[in-house]
Structure 1
Amino acid sequence: MDEDMKALLERALGPFPDDCDLPLPPMGLSVEEERQQRLRDLAVAFRVFGKLGFSEGVAGHMTARDPEDPDLFWVNPFGMSFNQIRVSDLICVDHKGHVVHGRRPVNAAAFVIHAQVHEARPDAVAAAHTHSLYGKALSSLGIPLDPITQDACAFYNDHGRYDDYRGTVLAEEEGKNIAAAIGGHKAAILRNHGLITVGTTVSAAAWWFVTMERSCQAQMIAMAAGTPTLIDHDTATLTHSQIGSDLVGWFQFRPLWEQIVATQPDVFE
């Protein structure tokens, strides 16, 4: 294992022996192998989102940038249940919203948001946005995600806010504004709309969405019960450095990934 990778992981997971059997993000793949890996991860992530109840009718989308052509990205077909998406169902679209692979249409809002996010963030391999319950609820309050738990510290000083909701996102300018709200962060809260996350891998982007949604839920519950105690700045900053990297996000998503692969093998069809 690469020493830098090992050091980063041990900060979050604790020490482990050099010969331990630990899954690692695939490295050194060919373009075609990388494409297939991203498609497999994307299909699995949709199944996870479906299992966790993040769907809301036809709303919600997740994208993965094509490893060969950065102007193309893979996305879920419009109107298909997250619970049924397979690798073969994913469609590929360009930054003009034209479907270049697949026979189903793309969600227009998905194109507007994700195209601008991918353009603004060349480092972002993947982006995730759905209308999950607690993300929507917290977004209506116009407040940030506070460092009240260890998990929430992954977003400490690392999420933006977009406070100018103007209806369903169909205008390019709106997409640009959302991308600007994310900035260099891993996520943003879109007021009266929900959450959006990005990552250098599909699994990282998916995990940030999962744990951000749960952190929103924890904050809402804590606020309903009383006044949450915030983790102090230095501790929150330290915790962010331990658990806030995309590599750690990839590992955090792995148990969910393996559950889907074991119980729903058709996801790779």
Structure 2
Amino acid sequence: MAPSLASTPTASVETKVDRRVAQSPGDAEDTEAMAAMAHRRRRLPGIPQFLSAAAQRQWQLEHMAGAFRVFAREGYAEGISGHISVRDPEHEDRFWINPLGVHFGLMKASDMICVNLAGEVVGGNMEGSINAAGFQIHSSVHKARRDVHAICHTHSVHGRAYSAFAKPLEMINQDVCYFYKAHAVREKIAESLGDGKACILMNHGLLTVGQTVDEAAFLFCLMERSCKVQMLADSTGHKKHFVSDAEAAYNFRMASTPSALYTEFQPHYQLEEALANPPFKQ
């Protein structure tokens, strides 16, 4: 049955996608970015749309669990720290979050817990508990940003190391331009995030957001690697060449749209689907 807001989901259901509107319409820049990704081929499908909230909810939870499997493979698990949340597609004041004490590599769709912005458990895995600090972080961002549907935060190694410098990432390569003028460094997360995509939490780690969990998860992986690349470049002592503002702005416009970032994550998700043991679509 599909995940209910009143019961624990017990099995995966076939995702009902309306193929007539499978491509998320987005804005002109999103459309342009998606068209540019595949040379002389049909445009990539992008974010699917659904015939029901129940189908979308199940799809979101499966992709949420898949994102945790990716994070486990990347080595982001650290004790009981780290969380991903996804806003419920039917109830704007509710979001799904992972249970406390379950390893990222074992996470399943049915493990997720639905809470409202007041902190009350209202659906999903009614037997689980959630990280109190995690609830404060995710609820504050969901309240402040109605456009944000997914949030990722873990205690990844390079993110934690770079956060000690309390400075934004430098535009030293094409990939980090996905964060051009779209990330902040602060302690007050929701305020600092503004309308951006990411935040470096001082002496803490990284946080990313997106319109899908796929977007937020891809950005988190990219930001973690960008922190590593920056520290590697800094460690050489050589003079760095920076991407120009014009080039960085172009890369950001063409590659950092919701549909493009969703698409970027799909190879990672597909690998987890193929290797999943135990399965996560349960």
Amino acid at match of 1:200: Q
SS at match of 1:44: helix
1:115 paired with 2:115, answer no
Which string of whole-angstrom CA distances, capped at 9 and with x for unpartnered residues, describes residues 86-106 of structure 1?
Answer: 011111111122222221111
1:54 paired with 2:67, answer no
Give the C-alpha shift of residue 242 in structure 1.
Answer: 1.2
| Aligned residue number for residue 171 of structure 2 | 147
Whose helix proportion is higher, 1 or 2? 1
Contact 1:76–1:91 (CA<8 Å) still a contact in 2? Answer: yes
Give the C-alpha shift of residue 161 in structure 1.
Answer: 1.3
CA distance in 2, matches of 1:14, 1:106: 41
Give the C-alpha shift of residue 229 in structure 1.
Answer: 1.8
Contact 2:53–2:90 (CA<8 Å) still a contact in 1? Answer: yes
Please give the residue correspondences for 1:189-204 in structure 2 after superposition, counting only pairs within 5 Å: 189-204=200-215
Please give the residue correspondences for 1:19-34 in structure 2 after superposition, counting only pairs within 5 Å: 22-34=44-56
Give the C-alpha shift of residue 23 in structure 1.
Answer: 4.5
Please give the residue correspondences for 1:216-231 in structure 2 after superposition, counting only pairs within 5 Å: 216-226=227-237, 227-231=239-243
CA pair 259-23 structure 1, distance change in 2 beyond 3 A: farther
Which string of whole-angstrom CA distances, capped at 9 and with x for unpartnered residues, describes residues 207-250 of structure 1?
Answer: 01010111111001000012322111111111111111121110
2:253 pairs with one of 216, 227, 241:
241
CA distance in 1, matches of 2:77, 2:218: 16
Determine what percentage of the aligned residue pairs are the same residue: 39
The answer to which of 107-116 and 243-252 deviates more is 243-252
Contact 1:153–1:237 (CA<8 Å) still a contact in 2? Answer: yes
| Aligned residue number for residue 88 of structure 1 | 110
- How many residues are paired up? 253
1:137 paired with 2:161, answer yes
2:244 pairs with one of 232, 236, 260:
232
> How high is the TM-score relative to the length of structure 1?
0.90
SS at match of 2:206: strand
| Structure 1 unpaired stretches of 5+ | 165-176
CA distance in 1, matches of 2:83, 2:253: 28
SS at match of 2:224: helix
1:17 pairs with one of 41, 48, 51:
41
Contact 1:187–1:198 (CA<8 Å) still a contact in 2? Answer: yes
| Aligned residue number for residue 250 of structure 1 | 262
Contact 1:10–1:16 (CA<8 Å) still a contact in 2? Answer: no
CA distance in 1, matches of 2:56, 2:85: 15
The answer to which of 228-237 and 115-124 deviates more is 228-237
Amino acid at match of 2:92: P
CA distance in 2, matches of 1:100, 1:207: 28
Contact 2:177–2:248 (CA<8 Å) still a contact in 1? Answer: yes
RMSD: 1.6
Amino acid at match of 1:185: G
CA distance in 2, matches of 1:120, 1:76: 21
Contact 1:139–1:193 (CA<8 Å) still a contact in 2? Answer: yes
CA distance in 1, matches of 2:223, 2:67: 15
| Aligned residue number for residue 7 of structure 1 | 32
CA distance in 1, matches of 2:78, 2:50: 37
| Aligned residue number for residue 160 of structure 1 | 184
Give the C-alpha shift of residue 37 in structure 1.
Answer: 1.0
Contact 1:99–1:106 (CA<8 Å) still a contact in 2? Answer: no
CA distance in 1, matches of 2:31, 2:251: 17
Contact 1:45–1:206 (CA<8 Å) still a contact in 2? Answer: yes
SS at match of 2:280: helix
Which string of whole-angstrom CA distances, capped at 9 and with x for unpartnered residues, describes residues 17-70 of structure 1?
Answer: 33x7x4432114311111111101100001100110011111100000001111
Contact 2:32–2:254 (CA<8 Å) still a contact in 1? Answer: no
Contact 2:46–2:259 (CA<8 Å) still a contact in 1? Answer: no
| Aligned residue number for residue 185 of structure 1 | 196
Amino acid at match of 1:37: W
